[in-house]
Amino acid sequence: RLVLGIETSCDDTGAAVMDETGRILGESSHTQKDVHLKTGGIIPVVAQRLHKENIARVVQEALDKSGIAPRDLSAVATTVKPGLALSLGIGLQYSLNFIQEHKMPFIPIHHMEAHALTVRMIQSVPFPFLVLLISGGHCLLAVARDIDDFLLLGQALDEAPGDTLDKVARRLSLVKHPKCSTLSGGQAIELMAQEGNRLKFHFKSPMGQHYDCNFSFAGFRNQVTQVISKKEEDEGIQPGEILSCVSDIAAAAQYTVASHIAKRTHRAILFCKAKGLLPQNSPSLVVSGGVACNQYIRKTLQIVTDATGLDLHCPPAKLCTDNGVMIAWNGVEKLRKGKGIVAHTANIRYEPKAPFGTDITGQVK
């Protein structure tokens, strides 16, 4: 059995054809990053137009590479939640037309569940495991108990770390830096931080007095912005020009983000151990989402898992950010278990906001 996966929840148009073992037969993608970097953020109608212009070509390319004809597919799996309404709409409409034309079932996919399960395509990570998703729109800690069963332990109360890093990078005008002009904000911060001294600046770690597993990044971003403004004044430069201490600020910001994420993850691990939510034998922490590409953050999390006896698993960077492969894989896992397959699509809608799992965040102390 073969699955076509389609992703359009944000600013990447992705498609992949996969067989039931998780082998990628063909994949293709189109990223809008360069366009959105120029406008300083995603403009939803622009994202929608670019998805519309590219989706047919991207899907065709994935099919061509796989050598599979549409009639040989068993199902189409497509992200329907959560994400930008206008972007989700293009992927869903395209998919519904496709399955109608070629007569096959549809598998609606939750984008964050797909991020959470991607690693299982590469290696066997049995349920249950702890998963940390850190991305452009989300920050959450959950126990994955099955492909469609998650216990939500904590989540971002304001903004997500990828969003925060993107905004800090923008405030630092990193896109004008010769080394960073094509990088996402998070990538730019990681690169600049390598040359910086994190001890030159100090940002307060968020939520020190909150004994739960939720995250907060807005107050931290505010602190960084204030420091940047102050430094611009000291150096006598205008916003938009690049500070001489830019790498030190990047290093301190990355350190604070990493340490906040590590502390909350550590608390989640202790909670899971106390409640017996993870297996006694080789329990695992899975980390995914775009921010999981960050090597410094991975290393910080490795310290936490080493100290608590967990195995750390991350998908390769390419599969941490948005792609069609992870959607196809989630479709394959559902197809194997005979779960979440819909024959009648009349009631299928996209959902820009969607809960993730069973929320027990209030019970995590």
Contacts to ligand ATP by CB under 6 A: 9-10, 83, 111, 115, 135-138, 160, 162-163, 165-166, 184-187, 190, 289-291, 293-294, 321-322
Tell me whether residue 140 or residue 310 sits nearer to ligand ATP (CB atom).
140
Q: Which residue is nearest to Fe ion (CB)?
A: 322
Tell me whether residue 112 or residue 174 sits nearer to Fe ion (CB atom).
112
Tell me whether residue 135 or residue 216 sits nearer to Fe ion (CB atom).
135
H helices of the chain, in order, are 33-39, 44-66, 85-102, 111-117, 161-171, 185-193, 218-235, 246-275, 295-308, 317-320, 324-337
The CB-of-291 to ligand ATP minimum distance in angstroms stands at 4
CA distances from 351 to 35, 110, 146, 209, 340 (A): 25, 9, 22, 34, 16
Q: Is 335 helix (H, G, I), strand (E, B) or coil?
A: helix
x/- map, 312-351, Fe ion, by CB under 5 A: ----------x-----------------------------
Per-residue b/e over 268-297, b at no fewer than 16 CB within 10 Å?
A: bbebbeeeebbeeeebbbbbbbbbbbbebb
Tell me whether residue 196 or residue 289 sits nearer to ligand ATP (CB atom).
289
Tell me whether residue 89 or residue 136 sits nearer to ligand ATP (CB atom).
136
Q: 99: burial class by Cβ within 10 Å (0-12, 13-18, 19+)?
A: buried
204 Cβ contact partners less than 8 Å away, ≥ 6 residues apart: 219, 220, 223, 256
Chosen from ligand ATP, Fe ion, none, partner binding at 247 (C-beta under 5 to 8 Å by type): none
- Axis crossing angle, helix 44-66 with helix 85-102, rounded to the nearest 10: 30
CB atoms within 10 A of CB 345: 14
Chosen from ligand ATP, Fe ion, none, partner binding at 165 (C-beta under 5 to 8 Å by type): ligand ATP
Q: How many residues bind Fe ion (CB under 5 A)?
A: 2
Sites for Fe ion among residues 131-190 (CB under 5 A): 135
Q: Is residue 11 close enough to count as binding Fe ion by CB under 5 A?
A: no
Tell me whether residue 2 or residue 140 sits nearer to ligand ATP (CB atom).
140
The CB-of-314 to Fe ion minimum distance in angstroms stands at 14
The CB-of-282 to ligand ATP minimum distance in angstroms stands at 27
Chosen from ligand ATP, Fe ion, none, partner binding at 331 (C-beta under 5 to 8 Å by type): none
- Axis crossing angle, helix 161-171 with helix 185-193, rounded to the nearest 10: 70
The CB-of-82 to ligand ATP minimum distance in angstroms stands at 7
